Amino acid sequence: MKIYPVILSGGSGTRLWPLSRAVLPKQLLPLVSDKTMLQETVLRVADWPGLMAPVVVCGNDHRFLVAEQLREIGVAPLGILLEPAGRNTAPAVAAAAHFLAKLDPEAVMLVLPADHVILDRAAFSAAVQRAAAPVAGGALATFGIVPQGPETGYGYIRRGAALDAEGCFAVNRFVEKPDRATAQQFVDDGGYYWNSGMFLFRADRYLSELARCKPEIAAAAEAAVRLGYSDLDFCRLHEDSFNACPSDSIDYAVMEKTERAVVVPADIGWSDVGSWSALWEVQQRDGDGNAKRGDVYLDGVSNSLVRAESRIVAVVGVQDLVVVETRDAVLVAHKDQVQRVKQVVDHLKAQARTEHLHHTKVYRPWGHYEGIDMGDRFQVKRITVKPGEKLSLQMHHHRAEHWVVVSGTARVTCGDTIKLLSENESTYIPIGMNHRLENPGKVPLHIIEVQSGSYLGEDDIVRFEDIYQRA
């Protein structure tokens, strides 16, 4: 049996604001270890015997970050499928199933969200092995997490009849997120599990059940793959076909309707890290119960999560708090109230602000830039270009730019002139002039850019040539 990990890397992770933003969501952040959650998910199954290279499904805006993070851990994906728009898990997995079925008609998919924590990898591997037998017989298996308490933030799965001696059960029913009293009843009953959103099934079996239960999703996903095309190292799903696909989860579209659903109990130290309090629970804590990261000073603090990204954060004489600092936003909340963080994001959207969209450091395929200062008709950025990379040949209608090389070597195109700049040298790009910045060297290029003009938005870019094929 060849098993293909399918990593779902969509979503914006608004409940972990201000660290998680739309352009850099939680699955692309190092929340628990020094590796991002996507990297942890891929590495979790990288050395299993019988597992093939992964397929990753992500949004267009995250494609270069996903590719770079896989490269950093030495994993070459079988494919990176780009969703033109978010349509929930059923269409995303259907697209991956069609993609795999063309390569291997007997492909088995291990569907994994990119933003989950699993502390016991050996137990997880054993659970997948237990699921393999019923899946080979045509079952669609989901992994039910043995509950650690009456959690109200998860859906539940009630098991039915035992199917084998390995501990696999038919699914009796799926249950929506309960209130606390009902959740306690589920835990006391012993026959309910948390719904993990992880699955194992044959690609062709999933597609046949999807075609029976939700034919419109199956047809749209098939067309999106068939009419899709390659773009650099990515597989672009056909935009109109995929966008026409109804939005639905695997549970609603298939698992709650099929007679082939199987639940495999798994006690694997699992969390979907759906809130700051959930992250506190899976992190290492000191003797006072504090999880801390960054330049943090604590005095008389207990059972709290404190994270500093850019400066010292001092917390004194409190308990049960979440304190998260970034360059442009700070969150302070009681651990029992962290679900209300989403309301902060909704407020930022309503006020047409940008703190929910991106950080001051913005990643691009060629490197990144970081806002340093901004005022009336000017903006200052720190730009880093990776060795051998280059920005698009572009022009701005409303701003001029001054570049000062801090370190490295820059190849600058300005109109018809091409020149090399070294450390402490500078150049000027007038309004309306075609220009390009490149790093021809073997070390990162760092420059300071000073923009001046009547409009300084990122949408004032006209691209004439771009090796990354951006619009």
Q: Specify if 22 maps to a domain.
A: yes
Within a 10 A sphere around the Cβ of 221, how many other Cβ atoms? 28
Are the beta carbons of 452 and 446 closer than 8 angstroms? Answer: no
| 323 and 372 co-located in one domain | no
- The C-alpha atoms of residue 83 and residue 239 are separated, in whole angstroms, by 8
Q: Are residues 265 and 300 in the same domain?
A: no
Q: Is residue 353 part of a domain?
A: no
pLDDT at site 363: 94
Gap between the Cα atoms of 304 and 306, Å rounded: 6
Residue 351 lies in a domain: no
CB–CB of 140/174 below 8 Å?
A: no
Q: Is 388 exposed, middle or buried (0-12, 13-18, 19+ CB in 10 A)?
A: exposed
Distance between terminal CA atoms of the chain? 41
Residues 37 and 148 in one domain: yes
Residues contacting 218, CB < 8 A, separation 6+ = 94, 207, 210, 211
Which residue, 235, 253, 271, sits at the end of a domain?
271
Asked whether residue 235 is domain-assigned, the answer is yes
- Cα–Cα distance for residue pair 445/388, rounded to 1 Å: 10
Give the orientation angle of helix 203-213 with respect to helix 89-103, to 10 degrees.
130
Q: Which of 316, 346, 376 is the last residue of a domain?
A: 346
Q: What is the pLDDT along the chain (471 residues), one digit of tens a residue?
A: 899 999 999 887 789 999 999 999 999 999 999 999 999 999 999 988 889 999 999 999 999 999 999 999 999 999 999 999 999 999 999 999 999 999 999 999 999 999 999 999 999 999 999 999 999 999 999 999 999 999 998 999 999 999 987 889 999 999 999 999 999 999 999 999 999 999 999 999 999 999 999 999 999 999 999 999 999 889 999 999 999 999 999 999 999 999 999 999 999 999 999 999 999 999 999 999 999 999 999 999 999 999 999 999 999 999 999 999 999 999 999 999 999 999 999 999 999 999 999 999 999 999 999 999 999 999 999 999 999 999 999 999 999 999 999 999 999 999 999 999 999 999 999 999 999 999 999 999 999 999 999 999 989 999 999 999 887
Same structural domain, 257 and 287: no
144 lies in some domain: yes
Residues 136 and 257 in one domain: yes
Quote the domain boundaries for residue 16: 3-271
CATH of the domain at 155: 3.90.550.10
Q: How many CB atoms lie within 10 A of CB 34?
A: 7
- Asked if residue 311 and residue 179 are part of one domain, the reply reads no
Say if 356 falls within a structural domain.
no
Do both 226 and 341 map to the same domain?
A: no
Is residue 58 within 8 Å of residue 83, measured between CB atoms? yes
Q: Are residues 120 and 35 in the same domain?
A: yes
Contact indicator for 66, 42 with CB cutoff of 8 Å:
no
Structural domain includes residue 470: no
Angle separating helix axes 215-226 and 203-213, nearest 10 degrees? 130
d(CA 246, CA 111): 20
Give the domain-ending residue among 313, 346, 379.
346
Whether residue 210 sits in one domain with residue 168: yes
Domain count, the chain: 3
174 with 70, same domain? yes
- Print burial letters for 325-335: b (CB count within 10 Å at least 16), e (below 16): bbeebebebeb
Residues 232 and 305 in one domain: no
Tell me: do 333 and 186 sit in the same domain: no
CATH code, domain with 409: 2.60.120.10
Average pLDDT along the chain: 96
pLDDT tens column, 397-447: 999 999 999 999 999 999 999 999 999 999 999 999 999 999 999 999 999
- Helix, coil or strand: residue 271: strand
- Is 443 inside any structural domain? yes
